[in-house]
């Protein structure tokens, strides 16, 4: 199933991405009106919010794929989880970077320990440790299972992290569904939707490429072992 | 009991495949071992002997194919593990405890009710003199003896012995062969892997060669002697095969 | 399960290695922080909760790896996995041993902490101990689960903190806040959501460890 999904993405997503991203650029920089209060720099939000959603999507699907892997033992799902977390982390990095740039102009600081920023930084760290674990134990046959458990534990921990940091402090703007100052303009909503779609497409493409790469990596390992065995026998 | 057609075999493995990382160690291995029979398993390094025993002990499940031990599909459960004893490369004993304490721990873990059992086994494997010394001070052979006592502690119905002769002195080997003969009398099913044809054939009533992740050869009827066995081995495990 | 607990305690009593290194490490952290932060009677209430928890968390995360190291020698972990017990009870046994170890460690650390920083504890020592205990259970639950994992990686001592510290951030936040409230003289009933997070974290990680241990121990 993982194979079929990634094949499909590889066939469709590159074209979709090449069409969608130029359109989002035009929308964000020329078409959509500036926010009345926040001004020009608010436009980064169209790339910032989709990054947050895509990052969540990556971590969550990493958790789900890990669960399926533990249940079935099918290595394809391990690759799917590995790719999801890796690409999710990439989008998490985009999220933190764009957020930081925006915070500099809006709040006058590159970083602040606001609840949402902190949540994502913590999640970023949790899933970075997932990739590190995979690197540090690549000689251990149990590693995929360990990584899977870590991904699931990380996902289950997300609400706890969110709750704790929100309780801790918050100054992050509530943009969506906030009657005063939120985005009510249809053009803004359309742009956001389009950017979200473009990000999903990008995610699926990168994910599929990564899955294919991991499969090939395994295949090479297998063939090397095989060749070594043959040479040795 | 072993000839009773009504009793099901102790081990049935059908087209079992087991990977280690990305490498397929077992490649469609099929094997049947009757209750009460003793199988001597030969094969070159890396043929998958240890992997097979680990799988039978419930430490790993087959990636493909099916394997059952006493009718329970692997990787089995706690009830099945109660019936299996393992002697492997590692002795599974704590270096900072002495032989008595180690066996007392496993007596509790396996819920062995016979309180004399551990003491008797220490005597039988020839560790009585060293029983109060921390295991850290033991030699390889002494560790092997203790591992044997540990594996026999709960009177298992299936005994898996991975190269049990390694490190043992001639006296230790004699004691091991004697103990295994007793277990065989008792009707314990056993698999013994070894590179020593003489010793392997001395304790077994069946022999097999593991090669290329499969059973490459197995005895039918009587056992060959060691010389014949080494000839069979040489042709079965030929270089480049 | 009792057999494993008893065996671990016996081994620890014999060597006292883990508890000694935990204690000394904890003290070192407390002392080092004094120079890093310059704690004075004026700011002690502000800084003390954080100091205490940084000392506890860092010691725990470096010390807990040891519980599975004693199972590495002679392949003892395999011996446990072969035994006719549920794999999840191996986790629970190790968890209880780790909680016991950490409690003994904290019993030594907390008096020292109160003493050297002259923390005004008032009549709230029992409440402080309760917060520390609940926090410790959560620390041990996550630490025990990933200690087996870290033991199998190349950079063992580094890997456990790397995995466990980010996971424990909600616990750390809540424990520090709850300790702050307790030190300021509030009773346990005033902890509100901080208490809830601490307990929820404990329940969540014990459950996950119990469920996941089979998956991480055998293939």
DSSP C194-218: HHHHHHHHHHHHHHHHHHHHHHHH-
Look at residue B132 in the predicted model and tell me its pLDDT.
93
**Separation in Å, CA of B240 to nearest CA in chain A:** 5
Residues of C in contact with B93 (CB under 8 A): 74, 76, 79
Model pTM score = 0.90
More confident site: A41 or A232? A41
Look at residue A173 in the predicted model and tell me its pLDDT.
60
**Separation in Å, CA of C216 to nearest CA in chain A:** 5
Q: Cβ distance B10 to B34 under 8 Å?
A: yes
Residues of A in contact with B21 (CB under 8 A): 141, 221, 225
Q: pLDDT at residue A153 above 90?
A: yes
Q: pLDDT at residue C2 above 60?
A: yes
Average pLDDT over residues C166-192: 91
Look at residue A172 in the predicted model and tell me its pLDDT.
56
Tens digits of residue pLDDT in C182-192: 998 888 888 88
B174 interfaces chain C, CB cutoff of 8 Å: no
Q: Give me the residue label for tokens 């074209």.
A: A15
ipTM, 2 dp: 0.91
**Separation in Å, CA of C116 to nearest CA in chain A:** 29
Tokens read off for A199:
């990000």
Q: Confidence class of residue A40 from pLDDT cuts 50, 70 and 90? A: confident
- Mean pLDDT computed over every residue of chain C: 91
Query: Rounded to the nearest 5°, which phi and psi values hold at C118?
Result: 40, 60
C169 interfaces chain A, CB cutoff of 8 Å: yes
Q: In what order do the strands lie in the sheet with B38-42?
A: B84-87, B158-162, B189-193, B38-42, B206-211, B214-218
* Nearest CB to A225; choose among B22, B61, B240: B22
Closest CA to A46 of A231, A224, A168, A197: A197
Look at residue A183 in the predicted model and tell me its pLDDT.
64
More confident site: A166 or C89? C89
Look at residue A184 in the predicted model and tell me its pLDDT.
67
Residues of C in contact with A114 (CB under 8 A): none
* Nearest CB to B22; choose among A73, A221, A233: A221
Cβ contact (<8 Å) for C167 and A139? no
**Separation in Å, CA of A145 to nearest CA in chain C:** 6
Q: Confidence class of residue B4 from pLDDT cuts 50, 70 and 90? A: very low
Task: For residue B85, give the DSSP letter.
Answer: E
Task: For residue A35, give the DSSP letter.
Answer: B
Look at residue A128 in the predicted model and tell me its pLDDT.
96
Least confident range of A36-45, A67-76, C147-156: A36-45
Q: pLDDT at residue A176 above 80?
A: no
- Which residues 170-229 in chain A show a CB within 8 A of chain C? none
Q: Under 8 Å CB-to-CB from A22, ≥6 apart: which residues?
A: none
| H and E: helices and strands count for chain C | 10, 0
Distance CA C101, CA C147 (A): 15
- Which residues 80-139 in chain B show a CB within 8 A of chain A? none
Residues of A in contact with B61 (CB under 8 A): 73
Cβ contact (<8 Å) for B106 and C79? yes
SS3 B110: coil
Cβ contact (<8 Å) for B94 and C76? yes
Average pLDDT over residues A190-199: 91
* Nearest CB to A156; choose among C163, C174, C208: C208
**Which range has highest mean pLDDT (A118-122, A184-188, A229-233, C134-138)?**
C134-138
Share of chain C above pLDDT 70, in %: 100
- Most A CBs within 10 A among C148, C161, C170, hence the mutation to make, goes to C170
Tokens read off for B177:
């062969």
Residues of A in contact with C205 (CB under 8 A): 153
Look at residue B1 in the predicted model and tell me its pLDDT.
41
- Mean pLDDT computed over every residue of chain A: 87
Q: Under 8 Å CB-to-CB from A133, ≥6 apart: which residues?
A: A143, A146, A147, A150, C149, C153, C159, C162, C163
**Separation in Å, CA of C186 to nearest CA in chain A:** 18
Angle in degrees, CA B33, B39, B41, rounded to 5: 115
Tens digits of residue pLDDT in B82-114: 999 999 999 999 999 999 999 999 999 999 999
Q: pLDDT at residue A171 above 60?
A: no
Distance CA C44, CA C39 (A): 6
Look at residue A174 in the predicted model and tell me its pLDDT.
57
Q: Give me the residue label for tokens 């390094």.
A: B45
C155 interfaces chain B, CB cutoff of 8 Å: no
H/E/C letters for each residue in B51-69? HHHHHHCCCCCCCEEEEEE
Tens digits of residue pLDDT in C146-165: 998 998 888 878 899 999 99
B106 interfaces chain C, CB cutoff of 8 Å: yes
β-strands B206-211, B214-218 pairing: antiparallel
A81 interfaces chain C, CB cutoff of 8 Å: no
Q: pLDDT at residue A53 above 70?
A: yes
> Residue B136, Cβ neighbours under 10 Å: how many?
12
Cβ contact (<8 Å) for C10 and B101? yes
Look at residue B5 in the predicted model and tell me its pLDDT.
42
Share of chain A above pLDDT 70, in %: 90
- Most A CBs within 10 A among B17, B19, B21, hence the mutation to make, goes to B21
SS3 B236: helix
Residue C82 to residues B57, B82, B86, B140, C53: CA-CA distances in angstroms? Answer: 7, 8, 8, 22, 38
Tens digits of residue pLDDT in B168-211: 999 999 999 999 999 999 999 999 999 999 999 989 999 999 98
Residues of A in contact with C170 (CB under 8 A): 122, 157, 160-161, 163-165
**Separation in Å, CA of A132 to nearest CA in chain C:** 8
Q: pLDDT at residue A45 above 60?
A: yes
- Most C CBs within 10 A among A145, A152, A156, hence the mutation to make, goes to A145
Residues of A in contact with B46 (CB under 8 A): 229, 232
Residues of C in contact with A141 (CB under 8 A): 219
A121 interfaces chain C, CB cutoff of 8 Å: no
C81 interfaces chain A, CB cutoff of 8 Å: no
More confident site: A171 or A98? A98
Percent helix, strand and coil across chain A, each to the nearest 5: 80, 0, 20
Look at residue A190 in the predicted model and tell me its pLDDT.
87
Distance CA A42, CA A105 (A): 9
Q: Confidence class of residue A232 from pLDDT cuts 50, 70 and 90? A: low
C163 interfaces chain A, CB cutoff of 8 Å: yes
Residues of A in contact with C174 (CB under 8 A): 164
C11 interfaces chain B, CB cutoff of 8 Å: yes
Cβ contact (<8 Å) for C201 and A160? yes
Tokens read off for C88:
């999840």
C70 interfaces chain B, CB cutoff of 8 Å: yes
Average pLDDT over residues B22-29: 86
Look at residue B88 in the predicted model and tell me its pLDDT.
94
Element (H, E) at B141: helix B140-152
Cβ contact (<8 Å) for C79 and B93? yes
Share of chain A above pLDDT 90, in %: 51
More confident site: A182 or A145? A145
Provide the sign of the torsion angle of the four alpha carbons B87, B93, B99, B103, taken in this order: negative
Tell me the CA end-to-end span of chain C in Å, nearest whole number.
Answer: 22
Element (H, E) at A28: none
- Mean pLDDT computed over every residue of chain B: 90
Q: Confidence class of residue A103 from pLDDT cuts 50, 70 and 90? A: confident
Phi-psi region of A39 (alpha: psi -120 to 50; beta: other; left: phi over 0): left
Tokens read off for C113:
């902490």
Residues of A in contact with B241 (CB under 8 A): 233
Average pLDDT over residues A198-214: 95
């Amino acid at each position: 199933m993982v194979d079929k999904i990634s094949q499909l993405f590889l066939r469709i997503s590159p074209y979709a991405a090449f069409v969608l991203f130029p359109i989002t650029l035009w929308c964000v920089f020329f078409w959509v009106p500036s926010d009345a209060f926040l001004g020009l720099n608010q436009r980064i939000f169209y790339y910032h919010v989709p990054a947050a959603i895509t990052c969540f999507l990556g971590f969550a699907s990493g958790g789900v794929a890990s669960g399926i892997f533990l249940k079935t033992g099918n290595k394809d799902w391990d690759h799917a989880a590995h790719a999801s977390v890796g690409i999710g982390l990439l989008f998490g990095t985009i999220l933190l970077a764009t957020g930081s740039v925006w915070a500099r102009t809006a709040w006058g600081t590159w970083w602040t320990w606001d609840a949402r920023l902190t949540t994502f930084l913590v999640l970023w760290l949790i899933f970075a440790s997932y990739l590190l674990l995979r690197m540090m134990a690549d000689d251990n046959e149990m590693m995929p299972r360990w990584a899977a458990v870590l991904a699931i534990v990380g996902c289950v921990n997300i609400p706890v992290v969110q709750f704790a940091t929100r309780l801790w402090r918050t100054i992050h703007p509530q943009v969506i569904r906030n009657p005063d100052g939120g985005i009510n303009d249809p053009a803004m909503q359309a742009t956001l939707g389009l950017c979200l779609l473009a990000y999903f497409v990008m995610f699926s493409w990168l994910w599929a490429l990564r899955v294919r790469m991991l499969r090939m990596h395994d295949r090479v390992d297998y063939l090397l072992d095989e060749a070594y065995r043959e040479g040795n026998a | 009991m072993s000839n009773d057609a009504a009793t099901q075999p102790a081990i049935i493995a059908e087209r079992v495949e087991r990977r280690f990382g990305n490498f397929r160690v077992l490649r469609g291995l099929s094997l049947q071992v009757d209750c009460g029979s003793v199988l001597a398993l030969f094969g070159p390094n890396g043929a998958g002997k240890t992997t097979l025993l680990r799988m039978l002990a419930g430490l790993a499940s087959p990636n493909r194919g099916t394997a059952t031990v006493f009718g329970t599909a692997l990787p089995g459960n706690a009830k099945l593990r109660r019936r299996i004893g393992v002697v492997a490369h590692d002795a599974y004993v704590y270096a900072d405890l002495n032989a008595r304490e180690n066996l007392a721990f496993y007596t509790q873990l396996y819920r062995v009710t016979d309180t004399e059992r551990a003491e008797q086994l220490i005597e039988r494997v020839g560790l009585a003199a060293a029983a109060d010394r921390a295991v850290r001070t033991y030699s390889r052979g002494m560790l092997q003896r203790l591992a044997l006592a540990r594996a026999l502690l709960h009177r298992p119905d299936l005994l898996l012995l991975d190269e049990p002769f390694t490190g043992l002195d001639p006296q230790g080997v004699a004691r091991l062969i004697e103990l295994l003969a007793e277990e065989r009398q008792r009707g314990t099913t056993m698999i013994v892997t070894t590179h020593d044809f003489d010793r392997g054939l001395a304790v077994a009533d069946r022999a097999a060669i593991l090669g290329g992740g499969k059973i490459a050869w197995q005895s039918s009827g009587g056992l060959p002697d060691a010389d014949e066995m080494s000839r069979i081995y040489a042709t079965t495990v030929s270089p480049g095969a | 399960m009792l057999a494993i607990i008893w065996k671990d305690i016996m081994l620890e009593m014999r060597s006292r290695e883990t508890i000694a290194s935990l204690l000394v490490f904890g003290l070192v952290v407390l002392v080092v922080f004094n120079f890093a932060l310059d704690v004075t009677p004026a700011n002690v209430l502000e800084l003390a909760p954080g100091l205490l928890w940084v000392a506890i968390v860092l010691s725990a995360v470096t010390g807990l790896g040891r519980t599975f190291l004693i199972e590495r020698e002679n392949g003892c972990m395999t011996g446990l996995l072969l035994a006719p017990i549920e794999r999840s009870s191996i986790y629970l046994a190790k968890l209880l041993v780790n909680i016991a170890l950490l409690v003994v460690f904290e019993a030594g650390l907390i008096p020292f902490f109160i003493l050297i920083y002259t923390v005004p504890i008032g009549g709230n020592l029992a409440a402080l101990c309760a917060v520390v205990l609940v926090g410790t259970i959560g620390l041990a639950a996550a630490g025990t689960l990933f200690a087996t994992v870290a033991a199998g990686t190349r950079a063992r001592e580094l890997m456990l903190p790397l995995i466990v510290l980010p996971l424990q951030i909600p616990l750390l936040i809540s424990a520090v806040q709850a300790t702050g409230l307790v030190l300021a003289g509030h009773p346990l009933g005033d902890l509100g959501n901080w208490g809830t997070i601490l307990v929820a974290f404990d329940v969540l990680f014990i459950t996950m460890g119990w469920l996941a241990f089979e998956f991480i121990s055998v293939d």
